[in-house]
Amino acid sequence: MMTQTSLRVLAACAFKTKAHNRLFHADTKVQAIAHANYNVVFDIDGVLIKGKQVLPQTHRALGLLQANNVPYIFLTNGGGLRETDKAEQLSKKIGIHISPRQLILSHSPMRALAAQYEDKNVLVVGGNGSDCRCVAEHYGFKHVVTPEEVHAVYPSVCPSSDNEARSVPLAEKYLQSVLRPVEAIMVFHDSVDWGRDLQVMLDALVSKDGYLTTVKSQAELHTTKQTVPLYFSNSDLVWSNEYPTPRFAQGTFRTCLERIYKDMTGHSLEYTLFGKPMTTTYQYAESVLNKIAPPIHYGIDGTPKPRTVYAIGDNPYADIAGANAYGWQSVLVRTGVFVPEGNENHHTHPATAVVDDVEDAVRWIISKEIRKEHPF
């Protein structure tokens, strides 16, 4: 039998969307569920932030979780910086402290590749300046080369791209890596110069033994596979910023490379994907959750009870597809990539719930958990 207190808590967490006269307001108080056995995983772009703007519901959503002692992490297909730097950047932007331990970037699981490629020369693609080089070195890769460095040594590698002078010249030791054979290609972040980066990556893929200034014979191109292994950190075709419609993301860049390589060689491009919705990324996220929020509910036999994980995202093909496949509860918001005509769910990757924004998502989650604790 439910107590009057339980009924008041449940009433406070009743959920209705704006289209049905939403009951919630910014000052609504939600009582805490003691030792709640659930976690929340946030996407960032299109959920908490839109381009350079923090969405107004973000502070209220995070505040509700903090008030209720609900552990949460951030799982994004963005990246390009070390986790410590990105956490600091995000903390300043949102106005709430975020620990690097709470943040998983698209390339975070790729740190595991450092053991395999520690002493090999790796072409690291994407991001601004030397940011992704710093990420790779932070992960333990000892020999890194970037398209920018290739362009500095060979200005004619991509005549259509500007080879602008840097305020701080590239270190000579970095330029020396350009002459070494490329033994793997890793795309850590979105390319800022598609023409140059596609050209340099293709040069490595069709080279003789990874040497960038060489190319296989026509017979070899059509009878042998690509020269070096290839890894991408993000499969998204599009992402959402302030522009009215979604913008190209790393998946579109990959699609271009696939088509060029196929036309040149007759072979399909081979690669390994990280980021959402790949299972490897969700396994990594689960390990992070286990560290910051170890299971606190145990059965009679002393084994941990499985917790519920809620993933909030705006991209059905990444956030929702990945969460559904991994057995998490998925909540789809209408503030990013997903822009339905009405109140419908996504046709291919339907979410557990569809709501207007991240605040609605958090309130729906808390309401559902209270109903589990206090069923009628």
> What is residue 182's DSSP assignment?
P
Q: Are residues 117 and 249 in the same domain?
A: yes
Confidence at residue 5, expressed as pLDDT on a 0 to 100 scale: 40
Q: What percent of the chain has pLDDT over 90?
A: 75
pLDDT tens-place string over residues 74-85: 999 999 999 999
Are residues 140 and 212 part of one domain? yes
Residue 162's CB is within 10 A of a number of other CB atoms, namely 9
pLDDT tens-digit profile of 167-199? Answer: 566 777 667 788 899 999 999 999 999 999 999
Are 73 and 140 in the same domain?
A: no
Mean pLDDT, to the nearest integer, of 231-239? 96
In this prediction, residue 371 carries a pLDDT of 86
Give the CATH number, domain containing residue 186. Answer: 3.40.50.1000
Q: Are residues 288 and 220 in the same domain?
A: no
Query: How many structural domains are present in the chain?
Result: 2
Q: Is residue 330 part of a domain?
A: yes
pTM of the entire predicted model: 0.86
Q: Residue 119 carries which side chain, given as an amino acid letter?
A: D
Helix axes 83-94, 58-67, angle to 10 degrees: 110
Judge if 136 and 236 occupy the same domain. Answer: yes
Q: How many CA atoms lie within 13 A of 252 on its CB side?
A: 10
> pLDDT confidence of 298, banded at 50, 70, 90?
low
Q: How many other C-beta atoms can be found within 10 angstroms of the C-beta atom of residue 62?
A: 21
Whether 164 and 228 map to the same domain: the answer is yes
Domain coverage including residue 42: 36-106+278-295+306-373
Is residue 288 domain-shared with residue 361, that is, in the same domain?
yes
Torsions phi, psi for 191 (to 5 deg): -70, 140
- pLDDT beyond 80 at 60: yes
Q: Are residues 99 and 112 in the same domain?
A: no
Interval 313-336 mean pLDDT: 98
Residue 224 lies in a domain: yes
H, E, C per residue of 280-292: HHHHHHHHHHHHH
